[in-house]
């Protein structure tokens, strides 16, 4: 089946027809999906009735998987899904909704801040693929902001100022913004900051984009309050409505986005309702700036 795309909302999001993830992809389909990701940055595939294995197979046909190990506050014996998945549900290993004050839930609320997946890893994520297994009765949208358009819209003076800047990213910084600060010694060690360029060049298109994330908490060589105020201004600029696509989920949707040129955030939903979202992630090609491995 030929793969076709149709733009939805702003210029960087499209719906895809002609892909059935219960079956292996042809070489042409794989090529078309990658081309679609270069042309847009968010692709929406509706009505995909897939299980974990099929989601894994689809993801692996597009690239190498990133493992989700030690990136949440779930203890190793509390995982609900294998580490080939990032469990972005609000469910414990017995499929029960987390209590409102559960520490694992409160940490995960960090996903409601604008971010780019795994920007806190030395090699950050390339694509994320999020599949909706069950959704709440209201709320829970995912919003995407297009960092390429946000970069283009900056004044030349700002572009020159940020060209060579390096930020430090950590989940500690994003959680601090929400008042979540009671990290254990082990967690502080695990969430040690990594370095990322603030301006990235997309290898497929050669275009520059802002590489922002709520995980960014400092700029090398800058005083911290000045860096945070500056980053906050950039995020405010980059998430103006003209740069944003809001995805309202249907069960069976799989949304794939390019973390190198978008940010995203989850929106709130009723506390007691399950939201079972399963994310597979494709690993990036390498670090955005040379540094010691984590
Ligand atoms: Fe995310």
**C-beta of residue 114 within 8 angstroms of C-beta of residue 146:** no
Q: CB-based contacts of 283: which residues, under 8 Å, 6+ apart?
A: 63, 64, 65, 66, 123, 125, 126
Dihedrals phi, psi of 78, to nearest 5 degrees: -110, 10
Half-sphere exposure of 6 (CA within 13 A, CB side): 5
pLDDT in tens, the chain (294 residues): 789 999 997 899 999 999 999 999 999 999 999 999 999 999 999 999 999 999 999 999 999 999 988 899 999 899 999 999 999 999 999 999 999 999 999 999 999 999 999 999 999 999 999 999 999 999 999 999 999 999 999 999 999 999 999 999 999 999 999 999 999 999 999 999 999 999 999 999 999 999 999 999 999 999 999 999 999 999 999 999 999 999 999 999 999 999 999 999 999 999 999 999 999 999 999 999 988 765
The span from the CA of 142 to the CA of 228, in Å, is 24
The span from the CA of 38 to the CA of 29, in Å, is 14
Burial 55-86 (b: 16+ CB within 10 A, else e): bbbbbeebbebbebeebbbbeeeebbbeebbb
pLDDT at 291: 87
The span from the CA of 180 to the CA of 197, in Å, is 26
Ligand 1 is a single-atom ion; what residues have CB below 5 A from it? 117
Cα 1 to ligand 1 centroid, rounded to whole Å:
31
Cα 157 to ligand 1 centroid, rounded to whole Å:
31
Cα 266 to ligand 1 centroid, rounded to whole Å:
8
pLDDT at 2: 83
SS3 134: strand
Cα 280 to ligand 1 centroid, rounded to whole Å:
11
pLDDT at 188: 95
Phi/psi zone of residue 18: left (φ > 0), alpha (ψ -120 to 50 degrees), beta?
Answer: left
pLDDT at 290: 87
Q: Sign (positive/negative) of CA torsion 247, 249, 252, 254?
A: positive
Cα 204 to ligand 1 centroid, rounded to whole Å:
22
Phi/psi zone of residue 221: left (φ > 0), alpha (ψ -120 to 50 degrees), beta?
Answer: left
**C-beta of residue 40 within 8 angstroms of C-beta of residue 13:** yes
Cα 111 to ligand 1 centroid, rounded to whole Å:
6
Cα 263 to ligand 1 centroid, rounded to whole Å:
8
Cα 277 to ligand 1 centroid, rounded to whole Å:
11
**C-beta of residue 126 within 8 angstroms of C-beta of residue 260:** yes
């Amino acid at each position: 089946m030929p793969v076709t795309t149709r733009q939805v909302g702003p210029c960087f999001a499209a719906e895809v027809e002609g892909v059935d993830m219960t079956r292996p992809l042809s070489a042409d389909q794989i090529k078309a999906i990658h081309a679609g990701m270069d042309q847009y940055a968010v692709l929406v595939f509706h009505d995909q009735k897939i299980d974990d294995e099929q989601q894994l197979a689809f993801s692996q046909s597009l690239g190498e998987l990133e493992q989700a190990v030690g990136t949440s506050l779930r203890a190793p014996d509390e995982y609900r899904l294998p580490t080939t998945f990032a469990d972005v549900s609000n469910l414990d290993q017995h499929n029960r909704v987390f209590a409102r004050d559960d520490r694992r839930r409160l940490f995960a609320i960090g996903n409601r801040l604008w971010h780019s997946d795994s920007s806190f890893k030395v090699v950050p994520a390339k694509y994320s693929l999020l599949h909706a297994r069950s959704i709440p009765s209201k709320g829970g949208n995912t919003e995407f902001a297009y960092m390429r358009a946000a970069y283009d819209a900056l004044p030349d003076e700002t572009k020159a100022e940020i060209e060579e800047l390096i930020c430090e990213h950590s989940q500690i910084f994003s959680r601090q913004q929400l008042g979540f600060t009671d990290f254990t010694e082990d967690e502080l060690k695990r969430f040690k900051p990594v370095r990322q360029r603030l301006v990235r060049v997309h290898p497929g298109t050669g275009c520059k984009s802002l590489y922002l994330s709520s995980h960014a908490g400092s700029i090398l060589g800058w005083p911290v309050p000045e860096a945070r105020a500056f980053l906050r201004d950039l995020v405010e600029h980059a998430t103006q409505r003209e740069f944003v696509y809001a995805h309202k989920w249907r069960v069976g949707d799989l949304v794939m986005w390019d973390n190198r040129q978008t940010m995203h955030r989850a929106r709130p939903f009723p506390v007691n309702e399950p939201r079972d979202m399963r994310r597979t992630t494709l690993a990036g090609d390498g670090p955005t700036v040379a540094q010691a491995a984590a």
